[in-house]
Each structure stands twice: as C-alpha cells, then as structure tokens.
Amino acid sequence: MMELTGKKIVLGLSGGVACYKAAELCRAFTKAGASVQVVMTEAATHFITAVTMQALSGRQVYTDQWDPRVSNNMAHIDVTRDADAIVVAPCSTDFIRKLAHGACDDLLSTMCVARPRHVPLLIAPAMNVEMWQNPATQRNVQQLRDDGITIFGPAAGDQACGEVGLGRMLEPEQLLEEVIASFQQKVLAGKRIMITAGPTFEPIDPVRGITNLSSGKMGYAVARAAREAGAEVTLVSGPVTLPVPFGVQRINVQSAQQMFDAVMADVDHQHIFIAVAAVADWRIANASEQKLKKNPDGTAPDLKFEQNPDILATVAARTNLAGHPYCVGFAAESENLVKFGADKREKKGIPLLVGNIGHHTFGQDDNTIILFDENGHTILPRADKLTLARQLISEISKRISQHSLFAK
Ligand code: C5P
C-alpha cells in the first residue's frame, strides 16, 4: 500500500550516528509514495553525505542557509510552504535545545521556526543515554511537548557509544508507521481498546492440535488502525507470524481458554472490545500429555470434544451501565451473510457486528465487510484490510460518541 502517496515530507537530519538510519527512512518514505526534501545541518554532513541523501530522495539536498540555488535565496521559507510534515530524524540533543528556544542559526533550525503553523513538526531523538536523561534535555523535551511538537521515541537498547539505555532512535520502519499514523484523525484519543486476533490452537497432544486458516491480518490491521486513532491498544493474539503494529501491546496465547483468561484479566478496564479472532468452538477434552501413538489395529484415537467458552458473549454480558466495553464482533459465514449476520448480532448481545465471507477473507490482503447494528446493515466495499480497519474504527468512534451513556 502506498500510504504516503501525494505527501510532501521535509526530512531534516541533525548530527548523530543515527544518520545512517535516516538513509533508510528516506527510502521508506519514497517507497510509501511521498516526495522527500532533505535538509541537513553541518553536523549531519559529518555522519552521512548529501550525495547519499540526494540519490535516495531524488532531489538536491539543502545544507546552507545562504544557498544560491533558491531563486529568492529564502530556502528557510520556500522549502516548507507546500510540505505536509517536517520530520527531524535524527534529532540531536543540541537540535532539541535549538527547537526549545526558537534558535535560527542554521537552515534547518530557521526553517523549523519559520514553518507555517499547519505543518506538523515531528522529531526522532537520538543520543547517548546520559544526554537524554540530563535534566536540561528533559526540560527542553517538555518544552517541545508543550509547543505541540510530536516526539517519536527514543527507544532503549545498545548504543553506538557502547552504553545501554534510552536514547536510540526508533528504527526506520517504526518511524514510517508513526509518520503514517500522524496523518490519521485521533478519533479514539484517550480510549483503551482490547482486540482479539488470529486463530486459536487446541492441543491434541504435545505436537499436534486443531487450528484454522485465520492469518490474523484483519485483527492486526484493526489494532494498527486503533493505535493510529490515538487509542491505547492491547492485542490478544493466537499464533500468527505477523509483526506487532508499532506501539501496540501484544499478549500471546494459544488456546481459546488462554485467550479467554487473558481477555478476562483486563477487559473491565477497556472502553472498547473488538473480537476479531477465529476462536475454535471446541477443544479436545482428553488431550494427551504424551505424543499419541498409532494403534496397531489401525483404529483412530478416541478424541472427545468439549465446547470452549464464548469470549465475546461473556464480555458483552459484562458491559457496565456506562456502556463499557463497547463490544464489536466479527462473523465469518460461508453463505447468506445478511441474514446470519443480523441474527448473530442479536444472539451475541452486541451493538455492532462485522460480517464477512470466511473463505473470501482468510489469508487475503483485502476483503468486503458488512456492518450490522440496530438500524440494519451497511456494506463497506472491497478494499485492503487496513483501509477497512480504519473505516471500522471511524464507524465505532461515531457510535460511541452518539452513545449518551458512553460519553459520561
Ligand atoms: O459464534 P461465532 O464463532 O461465529 O462468533 C464469531 C465472533 O465471536 C467473533 O467475533 C469471535 O471472535 C467471537 N468468538 C469468541 N469466542 C468464541 C467464539 C467466537 O469471542 N469462543
């Protein structure tokens, strides 16, 4: 998906070893469809050359406030006038200081001060742990927050200097996700949301089990869309191979019972619960502790099934007087979706149900979904799962803001 198509990003580099990651970030932005204008401080040019950044961005790089290539010689104004965002990555301790004080002593800092008010400034700090923790830096960082500047990271871990701790710049793919998220409406700001995703795995013995074809893609897309919308997201996930969306807390489970236990442990604190997981209806009641052997007489093992708890219905029954958590279910049917979807919403006792045709969605990157609520149903036409997930989050936010009890 070209998530940044049509976006113009000014990528500012200040001095730091993490400049090597800025090369990959520049590439990630352009691959996502953005046009990138690189601006470097003099210090940054000691870590990576303008030649590399020009080759990756496909544009001449600006490093000098007095650059004669700009016809009116006002690069600090011209460069940001049609920008959608300024991203400073890496942002050094000293550059944070400059931003906090409105300094204008090089092109990048002057450009940041001169940016139009509607152009967001997003920074990715990168520095030694002591420099990050220094009270002077923390004062400046707080000032940037107060000024409405968005700060991504930093992360903790091994540092180029050999020390360990907070101060590492986020990885390019994480920054890409954060910048994409910054363009989304924060319709769930301040909300806590729990999502189940993926299949479950019901053991038969230590090496075998029963599972299903759910890839987890839709649940993970919903988790990412919820995070992008500003929610605090807990993702309770069955076994899948997908990366965790940045900023989402994942709890790994295998069986339906484990999923049930993980959900129940924390669901009462949630504003919204979305059950996307394809939970096995039955588990093996007589699962073996040791690997089952073939019977010499050729008979199959005598497996007994028992029903798993219905996680969604149990949570829906706990919804409190304030309407928390607002419950959303998914239904994967193989036919007659409009009727089965409406029936299932009633049966589960939930305000919103998302219906889809199981074999048209499992493992696919796109899908068609139908939303069922008390007023009937609405079809969301075929699109990739992240687009549908964002539409779903927007629909949920509209419904919870209309819900008078929920608002209290
Ligand atoms: O009844 P059915 O399995 O078709 O319902 C599907 C919906 O219920 C999905 O949202 C699924 O995540 C949820 N579910 C659940 N616990 C179960 C079975 C289904 O939460 N044991």
> What CATH code is carried by the domain that includes residue 389?
3.40.50.10300
Is the Cα torsion angle 350, 356, 359, 361 positive or negative in sign?
negative
Residues 308 and 255 in one domain: yes
Number of residues in the chain = 408
pLDDT of residue 229: 98
Residues 377 and 246 in one domain: yes
How do the pLDDT tens digits run along the chain, 408 residues long? 799 999 999 999 999 999 999 999 999 999 999 999 999 999 999 999 999 999 999 999 999 988 888 877 777 788 888 999 999 999 999 999 999 999 999 999 999 999 999 999 999 999 999 999 999 999 999 999 999 999 999 999 888 888 888 999 999 999 999 999 999 999 999 999 999 999 999 999 999 999 998 999 999 999 999 999 999 999 999 999 999 999 999 999 999 999 999 999 999 999 999 999 999 999 999 999 999 999 999 999 999 999 999 999 999 999 887 778 999 999 988 778 888 899 999 999 999 999 987 777 777 788 889 999 999 999 999 999 999 999 999 999 999 987 644 544
Which atom of ligand 1 is closest in space to residue 315's alpha carbon? 20
> What CATH code is carried by the domain that includes residue 48?
3.40.50.1950
Which amino acids are annotated catalytic? 161
Q: Which domain holds residue 95?
A: 8-182
Residues 220 and 135 in one domain: no
Confirm whether 389 is domain-assigned: yes
- Domain boundary among the residues 134, 156, 182 is at 182
Residues 25 and 73 in one domain: yes
Locus of tokens 């829906």: 316
Locus of tokens 């400046």: 140
Confirm whether 2 is domain-assigned: no
Residues 30 and 121 in one domain: yes
Domains contained in the chain, number: 2
pLDDT of residue 357: 77
Distance 156 CA to ligand 1 centre (A): 38
Residues 153 and 203 in one domain: no
Residues 243 and 389 in one domain: yes
Confirm whether 23 is domain-assigned: yes
- Domain boundary among the residues 151, 182, 213 is at 182
| Predicted structure pTM score | 0.92
Residues 177 and 204 in one domain: no
Residues 211 and 348 in one domain: yes
Confirm whether 1 is domain-assigned: no
pLDDT of residue 408: 42
Confirm whether 3 is domain-assigned: no
What residues line ligand 1, using a CB cutoff of 6 Å?
Answer: 196, 256, 275-277, 279, 308, 310-312, 329-331
Residues 48 and 161 in one domain: yes
What are the contacts of 336-345 at 24+ separation with CB within 8 A? 337/370, 338/370, 338/377, 341/370, 341/372, 341/377, 342/372, 342/377, 344/372, 345/372, 345/373
pLDDT of residue 146: 98
- Domain boundary among the residues 142, 157, 182 is at 182
Confirm whether 365 is domain-assigned: yes
Residues 87 and 153 in one domain: yes
Confirm whether 62 is domain-assigned: yes
Confirm whether 48 is domain-assigned: yes
Best residue for ligand 1 mutational test, from 279, 328, 372 (most atoms within 8 Å of Cβ): 279
Q: Is 293 annotated as a binding residue?
A: no
- For residue 155, CA distances in Å to 158, 169, 224, 249 come to 10, 6, 19, 15
Q: At what angle do helices 217-228 and 172-182 cross, to 10 degrees?
A: 60
Q: Determine contact, residues 273/194, Cβ cutoff 8 Å.
A: yes
Residues 117 and 220 in one domain: no
pLDDT of residue 407: 44
Q: Whose CA is nearest to atom 6 of ligand 1?
A: 331
